[in-house]
Amino acid sequence: MGNINWNKVETIVDQVLDLPQSERVEHIHQVCAGNEALKGEVTKLLNSIFDSEGWLDDPKEFKEGFYQEMAEDAENIENSHSLIGKTIGSYTIKELLGEGGMGQVYLAERSDGTFEHKVAIKILHSARSSPENIRRFKQERNILAGLNHPGIAKLFDGGITDSGLQYLIMEYIDGKPITTYCKDNNLSLNERIKLFKKVLSAVQHAHESLVIHRDLKPDNIFVTSERQIKILDFGISKLLEDTETSPGHTLSEGRMLTPKYAAPEQILEEKVTTATDVYALGIIFYELLSGKHPYDLNNKSYFETENIILNKIPPAPSANTDSWGKQHRGTLRDDLDAIALKAIDKDRKERYRMANQFLSDLNNFEQGLPVTAQANSLTYRAKKYIVRNKLSIAVTVIFLFLLISISIFHTSRLTQERNKAQLEAEKAVQIKELFSEILQQSDPFTQPERDITLSDVLSTGADKVKNSLNSQPQIKAELLGLLGGTYASLGNFKEGEELLEEALSLDYPLELKTERQTYINNLTQVGRIYYRTGRFVEAESAYLKALEMSKRLHGEESGNLAGMYISLASIYREEGHLLKTEEFYKRAIEISDSTHKLLLATSLGNLAIAYRDQGEYEKALNLHDRSLKLEYEVHDSLHPDIASGYNNLAFTYQQMGKYQMADSLHQIALSMRRKLFPPDHHHIASSLVRLGLLKIKQMHTVEAENYLAEGYQILQQKLPEDHWQLISARGGLAVSRAMQGEFKENVPIVEEAYQFFNDRFGEDDWRTREAAAALTNLYRIWGKTEKAEFYSDKL
């Protein structure tokens, strides 16, 4: 025993653990040839590792199989060549491609002459055909059969040969491991990222099919000459199972077979989740960025390797590069460093939970958008500070616009009504003085220590108007209405409603058209707030009253009435009165002439929505097109009405099932709204929720959760608890989480949404049917067939 070189024993064991199972026996025979004592100590150490580490599904069965192979010498390996020339199904085996896992993989060609076709045939070795290994082999077949993605090697067939060998016929992949391919072809950084995104897409498909690979590494991710990704070897993958005791996608497993890509939880024998695959992907991504593994594991013992993976903090890719990576250090710093380090965080709760979150951050990086891995960095806080100060700059512009608009309005009245010239001059002076006082508070030179926001200025302006102009109720009503409307436009409905209600309560003579028009304007503004907050009865009453006053003031055919018809039609649509909706939108179109292009554009777009709700999609698309063309004739390319037009067109395509087109249009609308409005605006929330619900239909559940969570958070601050949009957002968020395996906590929330829509709008309403469809799908995935059929009958 004293003559044993323990460093050599440890080295051999490390080498064995890094090899595929089928190569281990032969390697031990070769390195220990003629030295039985050395072979015995290697065997003992492996035995202790197998006993303590819980490898694979059944450590005892694996260990017994391992020593059985040791006893059988190398005879089984040599026999693997005896299958060459044999026929399996319609294919003739041509050559041995490799050995891994529990058997061999052969290249085969179609032999019946119907067409040329190469396949890979995986055969379970006879010496490894235990009941447990046969079960695992069949599980691989079942898993592959359920995966359908261009980035995952396809399964064509499977069965048992005449001699009793289990086999799988799979897509033959003529390619190279991803790291080798990138190096041999000298791919640029952007090319490597685009290639890796394909890997993430394929892994996400597996995750959404409730499959964890568990052994992702470059040797299992091939790239073809056409740069097509193919993920191989799902032999030790697992199906995720929903349990009452384990939240989310978890299962208890042992270690993966490749320590270099094994996550800390695998080494600690903790539960394996989709985040475990993300860790392996993060290591591969790190290698693609820097050219090096995050840890120096060369010549390290097994136990040293374990300690490094568990305890050492990896350097950023930009600080750990080979000669290729050095060229890209500047680009790697910041976002890419942060993304890679987040993916390989030792705490799986801090990693991306699924591949799609990883993919989303890479997409954001490519588009120059913020990434979640950098959410708390100083740079990002600085950017938010800049955005915040842009509002202060915008304040002056907004109020100057209000001042100029009012001054022009009153100047025109001076021209038209000379007998009231003195009165209007006094009004203009009062307005100018009032807004001068308001604007002084946003002067950065007189108030350098204050970070003035638009909310501050509006609040001060409202206080000043409330406490002044008591002798001029006409002017006061006009200013309160303008301020109330501004609050409403920013999504601050409560403050806007208070100001408008006060404006409407002012007692002043309605002798002049302008004063009466001011009252009508304030009435429609408060009606708009009622509508936005889901009080449809109050909104209808306000708009009908405004409509009757406008008819008396302007005549029944005046284009000024079109906006009220549009608003009333929108209310009727929310209440499910589709025919009445169509009637009022058509009336708005009839009275909108060339001088009212904006109203005509809005009317056409809203009529498109009415046709969409009735399933008349071609009519809807035609009207959307006409509406957007008019919008572009009137506005610049960046305007809220154009963003709304894209949003509505996107939802029409979504209802038609054309999700890719809908996704692109929703992204355009969201991008425009983020540029146009404050971050917590209800229009941004609307786009986020629409996009999130679409992502659910596309099975991009993590992206869906991100969009819906952000939108829901905004709507909670803007809408009452019983508003259907808030219910819809909360229900959609629950669907996205349930589809990630969290059924028990979230399905009841979706059921509550269904019941709300059914009670409020009826069983035939599109919102009710959407909720029923979601419940049908969720219960099917959950395996609760009766409940799925119950909601399916509601469709």
Which tokens hold the place of 570? Answer: 């929108």
| Per-residue CA distances from 179 to 152, 193, 281, 298, 749 (Å) | 17, 12, 12, 18, 45
Q: Give me the residues paired with residue 168 across strands.
A: 122, 158
pLDDT surpasses 50 at 598:
yes
Q: Verify that 69 and 95 share a domain, yes or no.
A: no
- Give the pLDDT score at 34: 72
117 falls within a domain = yes
Confidence of residue 483 (pLDDT cuts 50, 70, 90): confident
Confidence check: pLDDT of 420 > 80: no
Percent of the chain topping pLDDT 70: 76
- Residue 498 β-bridge partners: none
Per-residue confidence (pLDDT) for residue 235, from 0 to 100: 56
pLDDT at 71 over 50: no
At 217 the pLDDT is 92
Residue 610 domain-assigned? no
Range with the lowest mean pLDDT among 161-170, 452-461, 489-498? 452-461
713 or 581, which is more confident?
713
Over residues 426-438, the mean pLDDT reads 54
Domain identity same for 46 and 86: no
Cα angle value 611/682/529 (rounded, 5°): 80
Q: How far apart are CA 140 and CA 214, in angstroms?
A: 12
Pairwise CA distance, residues 277 & 532, whole Å: 44
Q: Which two tokens stand for residue 500?
A: 């408008």
Instruction: Render the burial of 111-123: b for 16+ CB within 10 Å, e for the rest.
Output: eeeeeeeebbbbb
Does the residue 82 lie in any domain? yes
Distance CA 431, CA 464 (A): 11
pLDDT for the residue 343: 94
What was the pLDDT predicted at 59?
A: 44
Report pLDDT for 181. Answer: 95
Question: 10 Å Cβ neighbour count for 748?
Answer: 12
- What does the block give as tokens for 102? 């529990």
Other beta carbons within 10 angstroms of residue 720's beta carbon come to 10
Higher pLDDT, 452 or 691: 691
Say if residue 229 is in the same domain as residue 158. Answer: no
Q: Which residue is it, tokens 């197998």?
A: 50
CATH number for the domain harbouring residue 241: 1.10.510.10
Most confidently modeled range among 5-19, 141-155, 352-366, 555-569: 352-366
Per-residue pLDDT at 507:
61
Average pLDDT over every residue of 768-788 = 89
Total of domains in the chain: 4
Is 0.85 topped by the overall pTM? Answer: no
- Main-chain phi, psi angles of 262, to 5 degrees: -85, 135
Count of C-beta atoms within a 10 Å radius of residue 232: 22
pLDDT, one tens digit per residue, over 242-255 is 333 333 333 334 34
On whether the CB atoms of residues 286 and 261 are closer than 8 A, the answer is: no
Q: At what angle do helices 536-554 and 562-574 cross, to 10 degrees?
A: 160
What is the mean predicted confidence (pLDDT) over 125-140?
A: 70
Angle between the N-to-C axes of helices 682-697 and 640-655, in degrees from 0 to 180, rounded to the nearest 10: 20
pLDDT score at 604: 82
pLDDT above 50: residue 461 = yes
Whether the CB-CB separation of 483 and 498 falls below 8 Å is answered with no
Residues 120 and 266 in one domain: no
CB 46 within 8 A of CB 10: no
Q: Is 734 a residue whose pLDDT tops 90?
A: yes
Rounded Cα distance between 299 and 310, Å, is 18
In this predicted structure, the answer to whether residue 769 has a pLDDT above a threshold of 80 is yes
Please report the pLDDT score of residue 677 as a whole number: 82
Average pLDDT estimate for 478-498: 79
User: Confidence band (pLDDT; 50, 70, 90) for 585?
Assistant: confident
Pairing outcome for strands 103-110 and 118-124: antiparallel
**Which pLDDT score, from 0 to 100, does residue 221 have?**
94
Rank 281-290, 578-587, 758-767 by mean pLDDT and report only the highest: 281-290
pLDDT higher than 90, residue 640: no
Residue 523: inside a domain: no
Work out the pLDDT band at 135, boundaries 50, 70, 90: confident
On whether 432 is known to bind a ligand per the annotation, the reply is: no
Q: Is residue 187 part of a domain?
A: yes
Which residues are known to be catalytic?
Answer: 215
In 3D, which of 224, 142, 241 has the Cα closest to residue 185? 224
- At which of 146, 171, 196 does a domain end? 171
94 with 32, same domain: the answer is no
CB contact at 8 A, 68 and 90? no
Residue 507 burial by Cβ neighbours in a 10 Å radius (0-12, 13-18, 19+): exposed
If one compares 463 and 194, the residue with the highest pLDDT of the two is 194
* Between 421 and 256, residue with greater pLDDT: 421
Burial of 409 (0-12, 13-18, 19+ CB in 10 A): middle
Average pLDDT over residues 459-465: 70
Whether the predicted pLDDT of 234 surpasses 80? no
Is residue 698 within 8 Å of 205, Cβ to Cβ?
Answer: no
Determine the average pLDDT of the residues in 304-322.
88
CATH of the domain at 111: 3.30.200.20
Query: How many alpha carbons fall within 13 Å on the CB side of residue 496?
Result: 23
Which of 73, 97, 124 lies at the terminal end of a domain, its last residue? Answer: 73
Rg (CA), the chain: 34
Confidence band (pLDDT; 50, 70, 90) for 443?
very low
User: What was the pLDDT predicted at 63?
Assistant: 46
Which pLDDT belongs to residue 430? 55
Same domain, 66 and 113: no
pLDDT at 229 over 90: yes
> Phi, psi (5° rounding) for residue 593?
-100, -170
User: Do 101 and 241 have their domain in common?
Assistant: no
**Beta-sheet strand order (sheet of 155-160):** 87-88, 91-100, 103-110, 118-124, 166-171, 155-160
Judge if 216 and 346 occupy the same domain.
yes
pLDDT digits (tens, 9 = 90+) for 705-724: 999 999 999 988 878 888 88
Backbone φ and ψ of 496, nearest 5°: -65, -40
Same structural domain for residues 217 and 347? yes
Range of the domain at 325: 175-375
Q: Is there a domain that residue 290 lies in?
A: yes
If asked whether residues 243 and 344 sit together in one domain, one would say: yes
Task: Output the 3-class SS for 750-774.
Answer: HHHHHHHHHHHHCCCCHHHHHHHHH
Q: Are 160 and 294 in the same domain?
A: no
103 or 50: whose pLDDT is higher?
103
Q: Mapping DSSP to helix (H, G, I), strand (E, B) and coil, where does residue 245 land?
A: coil
Domain finish residue from 345, 375, 405: 375
Among 64-68, 204-208, 356-360, which is the least confidently predicted range?
Answer: 64-68
The first and second tokens of residue 585, run together, are 């939108």
Cβ(43)–Cβ(70) below 8 Å: yes
Q: Which residues pair with 231 in a beta bridge?
A: 152, 221
Average predicted confidence (pLDDT) for the chain: 77
pLDDT-derived band at 398, boundaries 50, 70, 90:
low
The domain that holds 722 is classified in CATH as 1.25.40.10
Burial of 271: CB neighbours in 10 Å, binned 0-12, 13-18, 19+:
middle
Q: Answer yes or no: is 390 within a domain.
A: no
> Does a structural domain hold residue 758?
yes
Q: Please state whether 239 falls in left (phi above 0), alpha (psi between -120 and 50) or beta.
A: beta
Residue with tokens 């028990």: 744
Are residues 341 and 197 part of one domain?
A: yes
Average confidence (pLDDT) over 598-604: 77
